[in-house]
Amino acid sequence: MRILFVLENFYPNIGGVETLFKSLTERLAAEGHDILVITTRLTPDMPAEENINGVKIRRYPFINRYTFTLFAVFPIMRHIRNYDIIHTTSYNAGLPSYIAAKLFRKKIIITFHEVWGKLWFKLPYMGKIAKRGHHLFEQMLTKFKYDKFVAVSHSTADSLRENGVAEHRIATIYNGLDYKKSAPFDRDELKKNNDQPFVYTYYGRLGISKGLDILLDAAAIIKQKNLNTQLKIIIPTTPKSLFKIILNTIKTLDLEEHIILKHNLSYDQLISELKTSDCVVIPSYSEGFCYVAVESIAFGIPIISSNKKALKEVTSGTYIKIPELSALHLSEAIEKAQKGQWEKTPIKKFRLTETVDNYLSLYKSISVTTRTNIPK
């Protein structure tokens, strides 16, 4: 097979999705398939062209995700003639990939990470016009006739159906984790003296659906109670506008001394920070899969979960589920965690090898005509 991947972000970007597609493309290349990835050139020192383990990578200097949406169609059309299938993802890569696929009559698969629907209008940190624009863009993508919509959880599959995607176009493939790299920590080594604070940690990307507004309000409640706790927040500094809002909120709520703020960590540095954490907090309004939850569970770190969307499917191990997503309920959950009042269930595993196998089966199930007739 000849498969063209159009991905807004790819290796060396670090993240669960990037790890998934790096593993998938390298597995395909190792089995003799012709694989090309079109992605963003994040910095000038990043090579524009590269071949990693048989995977051809072409990086283009898109300024941001919106210019990717507008202009990625041109490099896609430059390469698409030699490929049979396009595999892309929501959101920003979806539109240019679809346009090119239809122009050149190619099969196209889109992996949908999550569908927010009307939730767009309830999220913080975004104006009304921007919310409406993003909602309309999402609705447009769900109306396109991709050959397959891959939902990364049953929750995401349900959301696709609710937004009008036909059942025969939906395939559910969970994202996967490499459990060799995500072995449990030795928690006995992390025992603390009674005078050391209970550290509850948030880590992951900076997004409007991640519940950071609720987390900071909950931290303010915790601080007022003079509990021996500390919040650790590990986030990137982009988007810059949202990062600035977070910093201003921390200052407004007088939380500077209560919060340890970290960003732009290497993987090893992240692991070191997680090892000194007593739990990980996931206060999301919505999750399509949630690598942070699955990874934390694999490490053996207890989690506090909002229990929204796919978190109901992936949460296991040692956890507390918030009965209602609010600052008060989250603060109460953090107090319960400090007291060790956890729920426990057998750990669910979502293996990367199974994810890759399921994608391979999907590719094979899609009939591909070699050298499709190209319109003049």
What distance in Å separates the CA atoms of residue 350 and residue 267, rounded to the nearest whole number? 20
Q: Which of 236, 306, 302 is nearest to 274 (CA)?
A: 302
Residue 375: per-residue pLDDT: 43
Count of Cβ atoms closer than 10 Å to residue 251 Cβ: 10
Q: Given this model, what pLDDT does residue 370 score?
A: 40
Residue 226 exposed, middle or buried by CB count within 10 Å (0-12, 13-18, 19+) = exposed
Q: What is the mean pLDDT of residues 241-269?
A: 94
Domain limits, the chain: 2-176+352-365, 187-345
155: β partners: none
User: Which pair of structure tokens corresponds to residue 236?
Assistant: 């990137």
Element (H, E) at 269: helix 267-275
| Residue whose structure tokens are 């995500």 | 182
pLDDT at 363 over 90: yes
* Superfamily, domain 2-176+352-365: Glycogen Phosphorylase B; (3.40.50.2000)
Work out the average pLDDT over 125-139: 95
Q: Which residue type sits at 376?
A: K
pLDDT at 346: 97
| 164 CB-near residues (< 8 Å, 6+ apart) | 142, 143
Question: Residue 200 gets which letter from DSSP?
Answer: E
What does the block give as tokens for 71?
């202009």
Mean pLDDT of 118-123: 96
Tell me how crowded residue 307 is: count the other CB atoms within 10 A of its CB.
Answer: 18
Predicted confidence (pLDDT) per residue in 149-198, tens digit: 999 999 999 999 999 999 999 999 999 998 988 888 876 555 566 688 99
Top-confidence residue, 181 or 7: 7
Q: Mean pLDDT score of the chain, rounded to an integer?
A: 92
Average pLDDT over residues 343-360: 95
DSSP tag of 34 = E
Q: What angle do CA 213, 217, 219 make, to 5 degrees?
A: 115
Of the segments 16-30, 188-202, 292-306, which one has the largest average pLDDT value? 292-306
Alpha-carbon torsion angle 215, 219, 221, 226, nearest 10: 160
**pLDDT for residue 374 is more than 70:** no
pLDDT at 19 over 90: no
Q: What is the rounded distance in angstroms from the CA atom of residue 269 to the CA atom of residue 132?
A: 38
pLDDT at 285 over 80: yes
User: What is the pLDDT, as a whole number, of residue 151?
Assistant: 98
Q: What is the pLDDT of residue 138?
A: 96
User: Tens digit of pLDDT for each residue in 53-79?
Assistant: 999 999 999 988 899 999 999 999 999
Question: How much is the pLDDT for 189?
Answer: 57
Could you tell me the pLDDT band of residue 2, with boundaries at 50, 70 and 90? very high
| Rounded distance between C-alpha atoms, residue 85 and residue 100, angstroms | 11
Burial class of residue 272, CB neighbours in 10 A (0-12, 13-18, 19+): exposed
- For residue 346, what is the enclosing H or E element? none
Q: What is the DSSP string of 112-135?
A: E----GGGGGG-SSS-HHHHHHHH
Query: Does 2-176+352-365 match 187-345 in CATH topology?
Result: yes
pLDDT given at position 372 = 43
The tokens describing 198, both together, are 């209970």
Percent of the chain with pLDDT over 90: 84
> At 259, which helix (H) or strand (E)?
strand 259-262
Whether the pLDDT of residue 201 is over 90: the answer is yes
| Res. 284 pLDDT band, cuts 50 70 90 | very high
For 50, the 3-state DSSP assignment is strand
- How far CA 128 is from CA of 116, 132, 207, in Å, comes to 15, 6, 17
- What's residue 186's pLDDT? 75
Which residue type is seen at 328? L
Q: What 3-state DSSP class applies to 78?
A: helix
Q: Which CATH number fits domain 187-345: 3.40.50.2000, 2.60.40.1120, 3.20.20.140, 3.40.640.10?
A: 3.40.50.2000
